[in-house]
Amino acid sequence: MDILTRICRNKQVQVDLVKNQVPLSVLQSMPLYARNAYSLREALYHSTSGLITEHKRRSPSKNHIRTDHHIQEVAQGYQSGGACGMSVLTEVGYFGGAPEDLIIARASCTLPLLRKDFMVDPYQVHEAKAWGADVILLIAAALDPKSIDVLSGLAHELGLEVLLEVHDLSELNRSLTPNIDMVGVNNRNLKTFEVSTQVSIDLARHIPDHLVKISESGLTDAQEIRALRSVGYRGFLVGEHLMKSDNPGEATRLMIEEITRI
């Protein structure tokens, strides 16, 4: 069993347990459930950098990244540094995230927030809404087309945007549904963990023009990002590079300066 399959099976077990403890009606009664979401799609359209920052403590490929940064300070730093949006890991076991991270980030900034997790059940979309997310992530490698259609449709019903993550052309072709707003190309091979931005470059022309193109993973310098922008990408998800710095907000500001430098 590969790591993605194992994670998703564990996630479904966890979700089934939580459903019994926290009924949907409880989520729907939470204050953030009624808020109007911010648009990451619009933020990227109007940005000159397209930088989407991320908060994560560890990952299966890198183990511990940084555990001494406080989520409130990170979120505020990313916003003051000029980020377009922020991805927040809520997956506990493999990435060290937590629902509280998303709730605190929402209270700390006005950036569009992406709930980054392994979404396998409609209940999780309601969680995302209740915790203050504006966007959900759907991973094509983890979901069949029907599940993507159901989860993305529910997200739109709740006023959330949808980022579909793909790794290759076959995932892209079988996973596009009418409720997808953005397509993120993950440059990391989930089997080998090798990273190459050539993956994003190769897929760029296959992504429909009405969808916002986002490149994810392994982005560390402005020159790479400018090259990706030249082939149609509007968003660039950078997590590890910023989280490793002593001051993620300042690192964001400096990276945006480099990206937008003529």
223-252: pLDDT as tens digits: 999 999 999 999 999 988 899 999 999 999
> Could you tell me if 256 and 79 are in contact, meaning their C-beta atoms sit under 8 angstroms apart?
no
Tell me the three state secondary structure of residue 132. Answer: coil
pLDDT tens, position by position, 166-188: 999 999 999 999 999 999 999 98
Q: In the prediction, which pLDDT does 191 show?
A: 67
The CATH label, of 3.40.50.720, 3.40.50.2000, 3.20.20.70, 3.40.50.10300, for the domain at 3-85+117-260 is 3.20.20.70
- Please state, in angstroms and rounded to a whole number, the distance separating the CA atoms of residues 57 and 240: 9
| 185 strand-pairing partners | 166, 215
pLDDT for residue 119: 97
Res. 1: pLDDT tops 60: no
Average pLDDT, the chain: 93
What is d(CA 114, CA 102) in angstroms, rounded to the nearest whole number?
9
pLDDT bucket at 193, cuts 50 / 70 / 90: confident
Helices (H), the chain: 3-21, 24-29, 40-45, 71-81, 99-108, 122-131, 145-157, 169-175, 198-203, 222-230, 240-243, 248-260
Residue 262 has pLDDT above 80, yes or no: no
pLDDT in tens, 71-100: 999 999 999 999 999 999 999 988 889 999
For residue 157, the SS3 value is helix
Strand-pair category, 63-64 with 235-238: unpaired
* Average pLDDT of the segment spanning 187-215: 91
Give the residue-averaged pLDDT of 21-49: 97
Cβ–Cβ < 8 Å for 61, 247: no
Read off the pLDDT of residues 13-26 as tens digits, 9 standing for 90 and up. 999 999 999 999 99
Please tell me the predicted confidence (pLDDT) of residue 139. 97
